Structure 1
Amino acid sequence: MMAIVNRTPDSFYDKGATWAEDAAFDRVAQVVDEGAEMVDIGGIKAAPGAEIDEVEEKRRVVDFVARVRAAYPSLVISVDTWRASVGDAVCEAGADVLNDAWGGADPRLVDVAAKHDVALICTHTGGAVPRTRPYRVEYDDVVRAAVDDTVAYAERALAAGVARESLVIDPAHDFGKNTFHSLEITRRLDEMVATGWPVLVSLSNKDFVGESLDLPVGERLVGTLAATAVCALAGARIFRVHEVVETRQVVDMVNTIAGRRLPARAIRGLQ
């Protein structure tokens, strides 16, 4: 479980609930208690909004990463950034993972990951400019595009010196995609899993869930968990989430049904 921690005043989901540093730190404590193995710290919301330059992004995340690192030495800390300069600074502060949600918009990020020997999440956005919404995006085959682009990104990072075991691919639901694209990615996620690269999915409260069910952001949990179950059955390995406990139960149940995990106990019919 990769739990989302937003250092932003305008997140689409929490509306700035963890904008204050102490509130964000309390969120880290909460998700660690709930069993998250990773936290993903972000300083800029993905949607269009106020311009946030590199200096401000660093102000929001670098010292906070250092504080979390000091408090939780064994926690895996990811930072959601596409900027190489920010990535360099957070790695110096103790980050373990760079989550490039914008698909290599800054090509220098692979060099930063290699320099610091950290993990890199390679996403597919169809070449979208950071912090833009998709508009009439077309693909001949969105899954083929996602596979080709993320694998090419991972291979470029590997060539730059990032360790193979430190590379993850992510189809990036909603990013550079309409709802039909994200649904297609979900149905055919096994094709990404078949590449052999570990797959991360970020499904939590996304627009493709809301549009499928005609529900606002605060009412998308059940739909999110349904999409999570489909992706878990297909073999997704990492789940970037707002709701840790509920997602864990869904993923554990799916993996138990699939035979990848034993039941926590199995006494029925034995007593």
Structure 2
Amino acid sequence: MGILNVTPDSFSDGGLWIDPARAVEHGLRLVERGADVIDVGGESTRPGARRIPYEEELRRVLPVVRDLAAAGVLVSVDTMRAGVARAAVDAGARVINDVSGGRADPDMARAAARAGVPFVVMHWRGHSRGMDELASYDDVVADVTREIARQLDHVVGAGVDPGQVIVDPGLGFAKDRDDDWQLLAGIDALSRLGRPVLVGASRKRFLGTLLADPETGEPRPARARDAATAAVSALAAARGAWAVRVHDVADSADAVRVGSALRAAEHRARARTTTPLTTTRH
């Protein structure tokens, strides 16, 4: 899943694709480099971000969704607003990716149910301005899995087909860096919910902290975290993630192939060790 932020203030590429024509061009380039889905978002969810007016989000998102869909691209809309989701689906989007998992807008689950498209339910505890204060867990993997399960029950109760739901652990959203690493290590627990898992680690703070300058302690800049992102992509694929959501597609597309090949080899090895040996008597 290639990230296309049509925003002026996203944490690593804000303003680069605010012009619709440039955004569409970049989306097509991401597809050429290996993206299967282009995720178009018009509202930044970086830590501390303020919400924007509904009309502004529509203005940013709809022309890009419409033109990419017309070009045959599988488009996801990254929004927390039911009205934006409905308009984007009408314009050609075929996935709704709600970082609040339907919690920010009480009508979102019903909108997703009526649209009948895949719906990404991310773990979320609150809006960007105060989310860092909500990063408190007894056992982050167990707590996040339990909270996503409750949200799954909510959206299915609102009419969403359970077979259309994708789950996302919400790395960086009300999580500290240790929480993010534990969630990556615990993808199997999320997979036991029976739904595909989307992993969004691209250029996030926990990678910047890991790669901090050893002398100054300064986190590595966001756009210099793509190699680490690709490593996470390979590991996530090897653990069975359905997709990874990334800014730099080419290296992660290769990494996903590596991770998937490793997982397939492990499955074959397990099958060989569990198949009874047969002998032929002469």
Q: Distance in 2 between matches of 1:102 and 1:50?
A: 15
Runs of 4+ aligned residues of structure 1 deviating over 6 Å after TM superposition are none
Give the TM-score, by structure 1 length.
0.89
Determine the C-alpha separation between the residues in 2 that align with 1:95 and 1:131: 28
Alignment of 1:88-99 (within 5 A): 88-99=86-97
9 and 243 in structure 1: CA distance in 2 versus 1, 3 angstrom threshold: same
Matches for 1:61-100 after TM superposition, within 5 Å: 61-72=61-72, 75-100=73-98
Aligned match of 2:277: none
Counterpart of 1:192 in structure 2 is: 190
In 1, are the aligned partners of 2:234 and 2:257 still within 8 Å (CA)?
A: no
Closer, same or farther: CA 146–129 of 1 in aligned 2, 3 Å = same
C-alpha displacement of 1:50: 5.2
Give the direction of change, closer, same or farther, for the CA distance of 1:51–1:173 in structure 2 (3 Å limit): closer
Query: In the superposition, relative to structure 1, how do residues 132 and 99 fare at CA in structure 2: closer, same or farther (>3 Å)?
Result: farther
The one-letter code matched in structure 1 to 2:202 is S
**What residue number does 2:115 align with?**
116
Number of positions where the alignment pairs a residue of Structure 1 with one of Structure 2 = 258
Deviation of the 1:100 alpha carbon? 0.7
**Counterpart-to-counterpart distance in 1, 2:38 and 2:83:** 20
**Matching residue of 1:265:** none
**1:267 maps to which residue?**
none
* Range with greater deviation from structure 2 (114-123 or 62-71): 62-71
Q: In structure 2, what is the Cα distance between the partners aligned to 1:133 and 1:209?
A: 19
Unaligned runs of 5+ in 1: 263-271
Going from structure 1 to structure 2, the CA distance change for 1:142 and 1:133 (only over 3 Å counts) comes to: same
Name the CA distance, whole Å, in 2 between partners of 1:97 and 1:115. Answer: 13
> What letter corresponds to residue 84 of structure 2 in structure 1?
V
Which residue of the partner structure matches residue 15 of structure 2? 16
Larger radius of gyration: 2
Q: CA deviation at 1:118?
A: 1.4
Matching residue's letter, 2:244: F
Give the whole-Å Cα distance in 2 for the aligned partners of 1:237 and 1:131: 29
For 1:49 and 1:248, the matched residues in 2 are separated by 29
Q: Is 1:225 aligned with 2:230? A: yes
Q: Aligned equivalents of 1:18 and 1:220: distance in 2?
A: 20
SS of 2:89 mapped into structure 1: helix
Q: Displacement of 1:131 after TM fit?
A: 4.7
1:38 and 1:258 map into 2 onto residues whose CA distance is 22
Judge conservation of contact 1:201–1:239 (CA < 8 Å) in 2.
yes
- Note the C-alpha offset of 1:29: 1.1
2:53 aligns to what? 53
Q: Secondary structure of 2:245's match?
A: strand
Which AA in structure 1 matches 2:245? Answer: R
Q: CA deviation at 1:139?
A: 0.5
Residues 11 and 153 of structure 1: CA distance in aligned 2, closer, same or farther (over 3 Å): same
SS in structure 2 opposite 1:140?
coil
Q: Are the equivalent residues in 2 in contact too, given 1:105–1:130 (CA < 8 A)?
A: no
Matches within 5 A, 1:1-271: 2-47=1-46, 48-49=48-49, 51-72=51-72, 75-103=73-101, 104-125=103-124, 127-135=125-133, 137-214=135-212, 215-259=220-264
* Alpha-carbon shift at residue 51 of structure 1 (Å): 4.2
SS in 2 for 1:5: strand
- Answer whether contact 1:255 1:261 (CA < 8 A) is retained: no
The alpha-carbon distance between structure 1 residues 114 and 131, as it changes in their structure 2 partners (threshold 3 A), is farther
- TM superposition shift of 1:165: 2.4
1:187/1:230 contact within 8 Å kept? no
SS of residue paired to 1:135: helix
* TM-score, with length taken from structure 2: 0.86
Give the partner amino acid of 2:111.
V
Deviation digits for residues 4-46 of structure 1 (CA, Å, limit 9, x no counterpart): 0111112211231111111101111101112211010000111
% identical equivalent positions:
33
